[in-house]
Structure formats: structure tokens, C-alpha cells
Chain A
Amino acid sequence: MSSTEEGIRSVLAEHARLPVDVATLGVEDDLYQAGMTSHASVNVMLALEDLFDIEFPDAKLRKKTFESIAAIQEVLDELGASAPADG
């Protein structure tokens, strides 16, 4: 698992408030179907910005950017986010 993915999973575990264990989710699993509310998704975005020291541009602030771990990883890569030093 890449450190970026580890970082995403730690943010989801803390902020997505899913009724399932984040460790059981595949990278392509739909986070909204897994129970992430739009309210929780904003907290996930804020925590990702803090952890990876990036800002999501408005063009990325839409549902499908955050619909799976893979989708989040893709946009983080696109934004040149560096993996957090302490994972």
C-alpha cells in the first residue's frame, strides 16, 4: 500500500464516519454507498487538505472526486500532493 493510500485511509477512518471498517474497503469501492454522507465528505476533504498540504480547486469539488479511495488518490497525484512524512 502506498503512503498516499495509507494517508487517505487514515483520514477516512477518522472523518468519513462509515458504518464499516475502512480497512475492509477496496480502493474502487463506492464511499457514498458505503455510507459516507455529503456532510462527512466535507470533513474528509478538509482533513485531506491538511494532511497532504494541498487545496482542492473548485473544479475538483464535486461528488465523483471523492467517490472512492482510487478517485481521491488520482486527484491527489494530479495536484502533486506529497505523501505525508509521518504517514
Chain B
Amino acid sequence: MPEPTRSDLVERVGAIARDVAAAAADDVDAAARFPIETFDALRAAGLLSVLLPESLGGEGATLADVAPAVTELGRACASSGMVYAMHLIQLACLTRHASSPALATFARRVADEQLLLASATTEAGVGGDVRTSLCAVTTEDDRYRLEKQASVISYGEQADAVFTTARRTPDSPASDQVLVVCTDPGLSLEANGDWDTLGFRGTCSLGFLLVSTGDAELVFEAPYSDISSHTMLPTSHLLWTSVWLGIATEATDRARRFVQAAARKTPGVTPPSALRLAELVAVLQQLTELVGGGLRRYGEIADDPDATSSMGFAVAMNTLKVTAALLVVEIVGKALLICGIAGYRQGSPFSMGRLLRDAYGAAVMVNNDRINANSAQLLLIQREL
């Protein structure tokens, strides 16, 4: 049998999406539980290290390789898709910015043990501004220590490591942040609050008190501001929107099947819903091209830290996120109207309930208003639009 390659990532993840994630999606949603079976399958297939270079045990896949795979998973189970996307975002940061021997050793562990990576960028007391930290790293005898009241760590209870932002030192200003790999041995997480939400219920995004110690070289050398503009922010927006594209694609496909079933009953007469389907497909195409365009734009400059720090690029990535978050709700809403009561009903092949609830999370979980406010400020000075 030939070795699996990164070019068949869509097929490999797609098979797990169809065979495993889709079957569990309704139960994950109903119970607001982590989609453990999806991640057992991804682990078994070695799909948690795909972005790492082959020299560190990965497959050297690019963002453009993984994004369509994330869309496939998002179609089957949006919570699984979001968790896989968030894992890949941390993995992308590790792939590009791991400069110390300790981080390289950790990267090899991710590949060998198929570790699941989570993120703790938000903090109680800073009002959701991820570019500001209260907590700080202290370093003594080549060991770091960090304590953070993380307002949200998605799948924190299931993660094997948490990439955490903090001030560089206790004397550093709030904006001088670093990114720290927090993992066993030395990581303790104490959950607080619950996660009983409208959608993305399987992401289990609880708050945590995080306390971590470890090798001081597990603190990334590059400032978090550079990691953010170069990798974390564009990768986040591109992979989240890839998940939402999956939700939109699934809703549209359900509407297609509904219209075509009606057409088969009345050959020669175009069902009225077919016109609505044409309108729906036009909006889906906008979203598909928006995400594809964003991936191409980032692909062209992904290895150029100066270009990724430009305002024009930041505005483009912000706009991608807020636009996609609105389009996914519009698309699922249109699909619901096409399917009518069959879409409104739970448990039918055309049900839109879970898809619609997940779709609304796109604009809420990272708030569109916050992102638009950032763009608005950048647009006070940017020239070419």
C-alpha cells in the first residue's frame, strides 16, 4: 500500500468525518460533550501532526492542504471541525516559530504521541483583548512558572498541551507578550463555569485556572505580537472560516437534496424551491471564493513576516472572518426556508437546527464587533483598499 501523503488529506480526514464524526455529531451536540471518537480516529491516523515538517515527524502539509480537510470535518460535525481547526492553529505556530531545542523536542512529541493542542489567549480582567496580558512568566534556574485565570480554554480538559499568552516578565508592560507551551509534567488545570451554549457545544470551552511550570525554552523566543500577525491570526481566521464553510456547504447540500427529491416527483415542473436553491448556491459560492481567496492571499506571503504585518493584510483577514460569519448564518437560514418544516423538524435528513445554532457561534465566539473595531482603526490610516 502506498504511504499516505498530504495530497490525500481531504480524503483521509473526509473518511473520518463521514464514518465517525457525522455519526456522533447529534449526540455530541445534545450532551455538549467532547467529540472523543473523532479525535481518537484522527490520532490513530496520525492526523494531529500533519503541518509539522517531516524532519519533526509530520507531513509538511501547508495551510492550503489542511483547510479543505477542516471544511469536510466541519460539514460532518462543526464542533469537531472547530476543535481540529484550533489544534491546527497552535500546530502552525509551533511549526513556524519553534526555535529552541526544547520546542523542537516538544514538536517531536506532538508527532510521536499525537498530542492535542489547545490555546489560552483570553484572560479574566482584560475584557477579551487577547493582545494584553495580566499574568506574567517568571523564570528561575532555567524553569518558567506561569499562573493564568484563563476565561476560556476550549477542550482544556481533553488537551495534552495549552499554548498560553503572558507578559514576558513581571516587569513587562501588558502588551509585551510571549507564547508559552504548557504541558505535562508541570501543567495543572482547574475548571470553572460550564459550557451549555446555543452551538459549538462539543468544543467544551470552559474557564480554567492554569498553573504551569517547565523548561524555560518552552517559552517561544519571538514576541507574541509577531507570532500573532505572522501565523496565529491569519491561520485562525482561515481555518475558522473553513469550518463555517463546511456548515454552509452541508446546509446547502441538504437543501439540494430536498429540492431534487421534490423535482423527481414532478418531472417537467420546476419546483418553486429550485429558484431559492439557485439564490442559495450564489451565496455559497461567495463564501467558497472568499475563503479560497484568503488562502491564496496568505499563501503568497506566508513566509514574509514583514508583509504579514502590513495593515492591508490585517484588514483583509479581519474582513474575511466577519464576512464569513455573516454569510454562514444567511446560508443556513436560506437552506432552512427551502426545506421548510422538514428542515425545522429535528431528526430529519434535512434538519437545520444544529447547523443554524452552530452558524450563529461564528459571529459570537470571537465577536465580530471586536474585529470590526480593530479594522475601523486600521482604516483610519490605510490607503489602498
Interface of A toward B, CB cutoff 8 Å? 18-19, 32-39, 42, 45-46, 49, 55-58, 61-64
Min Cβ gap B135→A in Å is 16
Q: Which residues of B contact A39 (CB under 8 A)?
A: 374, 377
Complex Cα–Cα for A50 and B377 (A): 16
Complex Cα–Cα for A45 and B225 (A): 18
- Asked if B306 lies at the interface with its beta carbon under 8 angstroms from chain A, I say yes
Known A-B contacts A34-B173, A42-B381; the reply to A62 vs B223 at CB < 8 A is: no
Q: Which residues of B contact A38 (CB under 8 A)?
A: 131, 175, 225
On whether the beta carbons of A63 and B380 are closer than 8 Å, the reply is no
Which residues of chain B in 173-227 are interfacial with respect to chain A, using CB atoms and an 8 Å cutoff? 173-176, 223, 225-226
Complex Cα–Cα for A64 and B175 (A): 16
Min Cβ gap B307→A in Å is 8
Task: From B132, B172, B226, give the contact of A37 (CB < 8 A).
Answer: B132
Centre residue among B173, B175, B310, B382 by max chain A CB count within 10 A: B175
Min Cβ gap A54→B in Å is 12
Complex Cα–Cα for A42 and B307 (A): 17
Which residues of chain B in 139-191 are interfacial with respect to chain A, using CB atoms and an 8 Å cutoff? 168, 172-176
On whether the beta carbons of B380 and A33 are closer than 8 Å, the reply is no
- Asked if B378 lies at the interface with its beta carbon under 8 angstroms from chain A, I say yes
Min Cβ gap B346→A in Å is 44
- Asked if B311 lies at the interface with its beta carbon under 8 angstroms from chain A, I say yes
Min Cβ gap B234→A in Å is 14
Known A-B contacts A38-B131, A42-B377, A57-B383; the reply to A63 vs B309 at CB < 8 A is: yes
Q: Which residues of B contact A61 (CB under 8 A)?
A: 310-312, 381-383
On whether the beta carbons of B176 and A35 are closer than 8 Å, the reply is yes
Min Cβ gap A60→B in Å is 9
Q: Which residues of B contact A63 (CB under 8 A)?
A: 225-226, 229, 309
User: Which range contains the number of B residues in contact with the other chain?
Assistant: 20 to 34
**12 interchain pairs, CB-CB under 8 A:** A33-B176, A35-B173, A35-B175, A36-B175, A37-B131, A38-B225, A42-B380, A57-B383, A58-B384, A61-B310, A62-B306, A63-B229
Min Cβ gap B353→A in Å is 39
On whether the beta carbons of A64 and B309 are closer than 8 Å, the reply is yes
Known A-B contacts A42-B378, A46-B381, A57-B383; the reply to A62 vs B176 at CB < 8 A is: no
Q: Which residues of A contact B175 (CB under 8 A)?
A: 32, 35-38
On whether the beta carbons of A33 and B223 are closer than 8 Å, the reply is yes
Min Cβ gap A2→B in Å is 24
Which residues of chain B in 368-385 are interfacial with respect to chain A, using CB atoms and an 8 Å cutoff? 374, 377-378, 380-384
Centre residue among A32, A49, A56 by max chain B CB count within 10 A: A32
Q: Which residues of B contact A32 (CB under 8 A)?
A: 175-176, 223, 225
The closest CB in chain B to the CB of A18 belongs to B173
Complex Cα–Cα for A20 and B168 (A): 16
Q: Which residues of A contact B131 (CB under 8 A)?
A: 37-38
Q: Given known contacts A38-B131, A38-B175, A57-B383, what 15 new A-B pairs fall within 8 Å (CB)? A: A18-B173, A33-B168, A33-B173, A33-B223, A34-B173, A39-B374, A39-B377, A42-B377, A45-B381, A46-B380, A49-B381, A58-B311, A58-B383, A61-B312, A61-B381
The closest CB in chain A to the CB of B379 belongs to A42
Q: Which residues of A contact B176 (CB under 8 A)?
A: 32-35
Min Cβ gap A62→B in Å is 5
